[in-house]
Amino acid sequence: MKLKAEQLPRTLKSNSYLIYWLAGDEPLLLQETADAIRQHCRDGGFTEREVFYIERGFQWENFTQSASNLSLFAEKKVFDLRLSSSKLDESGKQALKEFIDEANPDNALLIISPKLEAGLMNTKWFKAIEPKIALVQIWPINKDNLASWLSKRLLREGISADGAAMQLLSDKVEGNLLAAIQEIEKLKLLANEDSGTTINLDSKTVMQVIADSSRYNVYNLVDAALVGDEIRCEKILIGLKEEGIFPLLILGAITRELRLLVPMIEKCQQGQGVNGIMQAHHVWFNRKQAVGAAIQRLTVNDVWRLLDHSRLIDQAIKGMSSLNPWDELSQLTLSLCGQHTASMQHTG
C-alpha cells in the first residue's frame, strides 16, 4: 500500500503492517521516518535488529538464512535492509518475496532505498508485493514548501520567526535539510537563554547566527531554468562554480533535459493537453510544474537554438574556443528561462 509520509503515524498506530519500504533521496527525512518505524517496532516488542547493507554482489542467502533462524529466546526481530540502489537482482527479488509471503509475525522488515523508478513499480513482481507492504515515498521539500517546513520545526523548538527572517533562513539552507537542522540547533541555544519563553527570530539574528549552508545540484539548476526563475538560476550556478563542479556535468544535464523536451513540445504545439503529455512521458509529479511551464513557454525552434549554443559551450569547456564556459552557461540558463541574451549571437 502506498502511503504519504504524513499518513505513517496513523498507519503505525493501527499495527497494519510488519513490512515498510522507505524510498527517496532526502537523507534527513528518510532517517527521521525510519527512526519512527524502528521506535514503533521496539514499542511492539521487536527487541532485536539486524542490519544488512545491500550492494552489488550481496549474497541474499545470508539474509534468507538469518530470517529463517529462530531466536534462542524467541524474541521478535527487525531486519533493516539498506539498499544502495532501488534496482534489485533476481535473487534479491526472490528473497524479499519469500520473506513477505511467509509473513512471520515475529519478523518485521524495514527497507530503505533511493527513490523507486516507475519501471520497477510497474513490474509484476512489485505489484505482487505492494498490497502486503507499507510503501512510503519520501520527496524532497521543494522551494515553495521550505518556509512552512522550517516554521514548524522552529515552533517545535520554541522559536517564532517573522517573514523576513524565514525567507532569509530558507535561502541560507535551501537544498540541505541536514544543515537546516544544525542551524535550528544553534538557534535553540538562543531560545534556552530564557528557558520557558518563546524567542522571536528576526532577520538580523539570522544574519549573525546562520552560516550559508545551501547545497545545490545540477537538477535544481535545470528546474529553476524550466520555470523561468533567472535569479535562482544565477545563484545556483554561482554555488556550483564555487563548489568546483565540472561545467561539463552541468551542460550534460541541461542538454539531456532539452532533448527530452522536444517531443513533448511538439505534442503541445499539436494541441495535446499538457498533463496528458507529461503522463505519457512519465514525468515525476514533483517535476510537473517545471516541465509543464517549459513545454508551454518554449517552441521546438527555441530548443534547437539552445542545443546549438550548448554545442559551442561544449567546445569552450574542452578548450576548443576562447569563450568562457561559465559565462556561456549563465547565458544558456537565462535563455532557457525565457530571457533574450547576448548568447544568441553565438547561435547564428
Nearest to 189 by CA among 165, 166, 205, 171: 205
**H or E segment and range at residue 22:** strand 19-24
Same domain, 127 and 191: no
Residue 341 scores a pLDDT above 50:
no
- Dihedral angle sign, alpha carbons of residues 333, 335, 338, 339: positive
**CATH (domain of 174):** 1.10.8.60
More confident: 163 or 129: 129
**CATH (domain of 227):** 1.20.272.10
pLDDT class of 126 with cuts at 50, 70, 90 = very high
Q: What mean pLDDT is predicted for residues 172-189?
A: 81
Res 71: pLDDT: 57
Say if residues 8 and 136 touch (Cβ distance below 8 Å): yes
pLDDT digits (tens, 9 = 90+) for 15-67: 889 999 999 988 889 999 999 999 999 999 998 999 999 988 899 999 999 99
Of the three residues 209, 228, 254, the one that is the final residue of a domain is 209
Res 342: pLDDT: 43
Give the whole-angstrom CA distance, residue 217 versus residue 215. Answer: 7
Same domain, 121 and 148: no
User: How many domains does the chain contain in total?
Assistant: 3
Same domain, 13 and 50: yes
- Return the amino acid letter for 270: Q
Same domain, 108 and 154: no
Average pLDDT, the chain: 87
Q: Which domain holds residue 231?
A: 218-347
pLDDT class of 187 with cuts at 50, 70, 90 = confident
Range scoring the smallest mean pLDDT among 7-11, 50-54, 132-136, 203-207: 203-207
